[in-house]
Structure 1
Amino acid sequence: MLNVYVTGGAVMREQLHDRGQEQDRERGGLLRIGLAEVYNPSMVPTLNPGDRLVVRYGAAVRAGDVVVLRHPFRQDLLIVKRAVERRDGGWWVMGDNPYVENDSREFGVVPDDLVVARARLRLRPRPAAGSGQRSLTGMLSWALSAVRPVRPLRSGRSLPGWRGALSERSASRRLRAR
């Protein structure tokens, strides 16, 4: 059974009011696939505000996966982050955007029981009516790129938002500018 669970994105508000009700549905197998909307830029360039995510509740999480989790300090908020690595006590998570630090750098390791779902697909929103993309070519271009898998980053690939990658790019720009 498909249960659409509409939430907000890089910071998401929970729509189910009773957490016990949610846990009962998870145990009963009813809450497997859901839909989330990204509101904040913490996962840019991977996810943009307005993108929607198809998520799988209870799916196994591996390093590099994009996950939906409860904010450790405000468990009524759901957030979207990348699971970077396993540590004692749970997952170290980070956003892909290096300029937004609402992640494990602020709140530490996230316990496993706060990880709600793993993102599977990204759905881009349709272009606005006045955006100039109402032409047939524009709409075809949107349709071909609207649905994309949310791919995990595996070992050997760097996350776009990691500080190391940012400092390397900044240093190389400074060297070229001189």
Structure 2
Amino acid sequence: MIDGDSSGEIAAPLPSAWALVRVSGPSMSPTVRSGDRLLARRVRAGGRVRPGDVVLARFPARPELLVVKRVRRTVEGGHWVEGDNPFVADDSRAFGAAVVVGRVVGRLWPRPGRLPAAPPSALP
């Protein structure tokens, strides 16, 4: 969830080049946890996103939902994104391809720094 984000437009871009993100929920645990604050940079349409990147994305089927997920691969219509926690499926397994709108640069709080690489089970 982005603080102050209330966009309902399909694949709406981030409101500015940088966004402060507050994580809500366990889907990216152990990489990030509920309550973590992340810094994300906007990705414009056609911007380069690679497998393994932690991103902000929207699902065309749920445009009001902005999620923090890890890119698994590029697919028709966008990217296949999944959380690092395999027991939570609020990702492409449930909603299909996602449109990436931002790339997470790092964690600001409570453990500042870059995010760790994907857990072995998170990438193909």
With structure 1 as the length reference, what TM-score do the two structures score? 0.57
Structure 2 residue aligned with 1:7:
2
CA distance in 1, matches of 2:102, 2:117: 14
Q: Which runs of 5+ in 2 are unaligned?
A: none
**SS, match of residue 94 in structure 2:** helix
Give the alignment's Cα RMSD to 1 decimal. 2.7
CA distance in 1, matches of 2:93, 2:62: 16
Whichever structure has more strand as a proportion of its residues is 2
Whichever structure has more helix as a proportion of its residues is 1
1:73 Cα deviation from its structure 2 partner: 2.1
CA distance in 2, matches of 1:65, 1:77: 19
Determine which structure has more spread, i.e. the larger CA radius of gyration.
1
Aligned-residue sequence identity (percent) comes to 39
Is the counterpart of residue 93 in structure 1 residue 77 in structure 2?
Answer: no
Q: How many residues align?
A: 119
2:115 to 150, 154, 157: 150
Matched-pair contact (CA < 8 Å) for 2:55–2:104: yes
**SS, match of residue 123 in structure 1:** strand
Distance 1:50 1:79, change over 3 A: same
With structure 2 as the length reference, what TM-score do the two structures score? 0.79
Find runs of 4+ consecutive structure 1 residues off by over 3 angstroms.
16-19
**Larger RCO of the pair (alpha carbons < 8 Å, separation 6+):** 2
Distance 1:37 1:96, change over 3 A: same
